[in-house]
Amino acid sequence: MATEVKVGQDERKIVQELVQNHGNKKAELIPILQEINREVGYISDEAIKELSEKMSIPSSHIYSVATFYRMLSTEPRGRHVIQFCESAPCHVAGGRQVWQTLKRELGLLNGETSQDNKWTLITTSCLGVCGVGPVMIIDEDIYGNVTPDQVPGILENYE
């Protein structure tokens, strides 16, 4: 429990600094949420409450925005987030088989986080690197032309 309280305090500090830097205009809400997501890994209830107070925006509005955009998460995620492109160009280029392999290797379904908190597996819409499909992104690393055989080797790169 003690650590959780500390996390809450840290988040409040992060939120306060962000609001100070960005200002409290509503147009800054999404940029601020993006930074919270980057720094903390997700947008917690604590962060939403603090942000609501500092920006004078109802927390219901902040929650509705935070849950609308794919790059923002209101749930904690694993240490590494795998985003797999499920759009048609990657699908046609063999993405279907890679996706099956990923699910099997990790023992996860779409949107799940592993018990040891290492992996979160999500699908995403087109990432704009269709010339090298099938494509997946692990954290910030882009992998293109992925084949099912390569999947275990790629996953091994992450601690």
Partner 1 sequence: MKTTRSMVLVSSDPESLDRGALDVFSTLQKQIIKYGLEEEITLSMITDISKHAMSPLVLIYPDAVIYGPVSADDVPLIVEEHLYKGRVVEEKQISAYDLSGRVAWLSARKGTLPAENRIVLKNVGLIDPENIDEYIINEGYEALGHILKEMTPEETIKIIKDSGLRGRGGAGFPTGLKWQFVKAAKGNKKYVICNADESEPGTFKDRLVLEGDPHAIIEAMLIGAYAVGANEGFVYIRGEYGLAIGRMKKAIQQAKEYGLLGENIFGTDFSFDLHIHAGAGAYICGEETALIESIEGNRGEPRSRPPYPTTVGLWQKPTLVNNVETLANIPAIIRNGPEWYKSIGTPSSPGTKVYTILGNVNVTGLIEVPMGITLREVISIYAKGMKGGANFKLAQTGGSSGSIIPASLQDTPMDFDSFTNVGVSLGSGALLIGNEEVCVVDLAKVLLNFFRFESCGKCNPCRIGNNRAYKILVNISEGVGTMKDLKDLQMMSDQLVELSNCGLGQTAGSPLKDILAHFRAELEAHIKLKVCPAGICSMSGRYAYQIQ
The span from the CA of 93 to the CA of 82, in Å, is 19
The residue from 7, 14, 129, 154 that contacts partner 1 (CB under 8 A) is 129
Q: How far is the CB of 101 from partner 1 (least distance, A)?
A: 17
In degrees, rounded to 5, the angle at the alpha carbon of residue 29 between the alpha carbons of residues 129 and 67 is 65
Q: Taking CB under 8 A as the rule, does residue 138 contact partner 1?
A: no
Sketch the per residue contact string, 1 through 20, with partner 1: x for CB under 8 A, - otherwise. Answer: --------------------
Q: Taking CB under 8 A as the rule, does residue 120 contact partner 1?
A: no
End-to-end CA distance of the chain: 26
β-partners of residue 85 are 124
Q: How far is the CB of 121 from partner 1 (least distance, A)?
A: 15
The span from the CA of 97 to the CA of 100, in Å, is 5
Pick out residues in 72-101 that bind partner 1 (CB under 8 A): 72, 86-89, 91-93
Please state, as a whole number, how many other Cβ atoms lie within 10 Å of the Cβ of residue 127.
Answer: 17
Contacts to partner 1 by CB under 8 A: 25-31, 33-34, 57, 61, 64-65, 68-72, 86-89, 91-93, 124-133, 140-142, 144-145
